[in-house]
Structure 1
Amino acid sequence: MTAAAPRQRLTSHRRGLGGERLAALLLMVKGYRIVSRRYAALGGEIDLVAKRGRTIAFVEVKARRDLDDARVAITPDKRRRLARAARHWLSHNPWAVGMTLRFDAVFVAPRRLPRHLANVASLATD
């Protein structure tokens, strides 16, 4: 590992946290309430869990140099880990079981408006 690697990791981590804050703000402006942030379980992490009306959105936030890079960063393996974490979250939040559940994504890039895409993956991805 080079001396620059820890610095690069820290920079990426900070960019990701900033992207999550921006994504949460965008969702709140759209009428969502953030229920949970960075929920980690069973080898997966859900960046944001948001509620609007009778819908629960498990939101993956991708902050990249451009929006196209962000879109392709949600791989099938990432979707499986998200699905496992979402099912775990639901097992600990039974009030949400009867609601509409979906996976959303918010893509963030410098000097661009963040882009929210609803229903990008299925909960049954495992």
Structure 2
Amino acid sequence: MPPLPPRPAPSRKRRSAYRLGLRAETLAVVALRLRGWRILARRYKAGSGEIDIIARKGDTIAFVEVKARATRDAALAAITAQGQRRIAAAARVWQARREDADAAVLRFDAVLVVPGRWPIHVADAFTAPQR
């Protein structure tokens, strides 16, 4: 089998978006910690899905999607149905691997990062779509 050709380097725009996403996730982690959440995982990947942050506060475990956009509404709208399905699939994998998750309340939250504002934590931003 011949070797795969090298991948082209990511564009400047793509690298910039990646860095913006990392900064937004870091801000989200700080905001959640200041509100009493314990971070269980960042950038959890399972199958075709990824969860930006998994956090716990008391008996609640939140699978948190972080979105950085110009406005709150644009950030919330960026959580698409396809994205919700991917997050939910990754959450099911994570839950199956954790015994302590069975007794917890599980929910899907969002942290919206908007310029000039503290990150906005939206509890129960969406419900797990059916498979």
Q: Distance in 2 between matches of 1:22 and 1:40?
A: 20
CA RMSD of aligned residues (A): 1.2
Q: Note the 1:2-81 alignment, pairs <5 A.
A: 6-81=11-86
- 1:30 is matched by which residue type in structure 2? R
Structure 1 residue runs of 4+, over 4 Å off? none
Please tell me whether the aligned partners of residues 35 and 50 of structure 1 are also in contact (alpha carbons under 8 angstroms): yes
- 2:77 is matched by which residue type in structure 1? V
Q: Between Structure 1 and Structure 2, which shows a larger proportion of helix residues?
A: 1
Aligned residue-pair number: 122
Give the drift of 1:97.
1.6
Specify the structure having the higher radius of gyration (Cα).
Answer: 2
- 2:128 is matched by which residue type in structure 1? L
Give the secondary-structure state (helix, strand or coil) at the position aligned to 2:87: helix
Instruction: Output the TM-score relative to the length of structure 2.
Output: 0.88
Q: Distance in 1 between matches of 2:42 and 2:130?
A: 21
Q: Deviations over 1:18-64 (max 9, x none)?
A: 00000011100110000000001121110000000000000000011
Q: Distance in 2 between matches of 1:51 and 1:27?
A: 10
- 2:122 is matched by which residue type in structure 1? L
Please, which runs of 5 or more residues in structure 1 have no aligned partner? Answer: none
